[in-house]
Amino acid sequence: MITSKEGMSQLIAWGGYFVLWAIVFAETGLLIGFFLPGDSLLVTAGLLASQGEFGLDIFWLIALLIPAAIIGDAVGYSIGRKSGEKLYSRPDSRFFKQEHIEKTKAFYAKHGGKTIVLARFVPIVRTFAPVVAGAAHMPYRQFASFNVLGGTFWILATTLLGYFLGNIDGIDSYLHLVIGGVIILSVVPIVVEIFRARRRKRLHAGA
């Protein structure tokens, strides 16, 4: 018999799964998702699952989030395929910057189809890679293969990293410090990129 406490715990857990699913999907499938902390969030979710916090289970995390990552990229590809040329001429806004598209195009030009796999671990590029692939008319079968491989590897690598970190003896005493460190490490590349973009703008303005 399920008690009210157990029922509330399950409700919180499934609420957490839903939020994580939505964030992973948005970061990979919607152009506004580039600012979301995907890597740190997934590692943290794995850490919490190892401690039993919020009732999260590592197997459910993996089973639910791999499809979210794959579907998200598929949606991004569709957006690029249908609206690629319009996106290249779209003006900058609070949630959209042409420099993000240009950076991803350069990444795609360098790595080709492998971009769909490699970009999973690169903030910002992760969001725009499927869009650029769609706009470049990458054959969908080729894209789908890279998408499934990249999405599966990304979710497994990040959640299991957190899960195994959480199972280190005595880690529970420093859990908040570990989570804080993971978040800081994942935010650093984004901050560096922001400073680089501002520096390029200043140099361009000076020129």
Q: Check pLDDT > 60 for residue 190.
A: no
Residues 6+ apart with CB under 8 A from 13: 54, 55, 56, 57
What pLDDT, on a 0 to 100 scale, did the predictor assign at position 108?
Answer: 72
How far apart, in whole angstroms, are the C-alpha atoms of residue 132 and residue 120? 14
Q: Check pLDDT > 70 for residue 179.
A: no
131 with 79: CB under 8 angstroms?
A: yes
pLDDT band at 87 (very low <50, low <70, confident <90, very high): low
How far apart, in whole angstroms, are the C-alpha atoms of residue 56 and residue 53? 6
pLDDT, tens only, 133-151: 888 778 888 889 999 999 9
Mean pLDDT of the chain: 76
Find the mean pLDDT for residues 36-51. Answer: 81
Nearest to 144 by CA among 65, 71, 193: 71
Find the mean pLDDT for residues 108-125. Answer: 77
154 with 121: CB under 8 angstroms?
A: yes
Distance between start and end Cα atoms, the chain: 72
Nearest to 13 by CA among 46, 65, 49, 62: 49
Q: Check pLDDT > 50 for residue 23.
A: yes
What pLDDT, on a 0 to 100 scale, did the predictor assign at position 66?
Answer: 95
Cβ burial of 93 (10 Å; 0-12, 13-18, 19+) is: exposed
- The percentage of residues in the chain with a pLDDT greater than 90, rounded to a whole number, is 15
Q: Which residue in the block uniquely carries the two structure tokens 């990249």?
A: 150
pLDDT band at 1 (very low <50, low <70, confident <90, very high): very low
pLDDT, tens only, 51-80: 876 778 899 999 999 999 999 999 988 988
Find the mean pLDDT for residues 105-112. Answer: 72
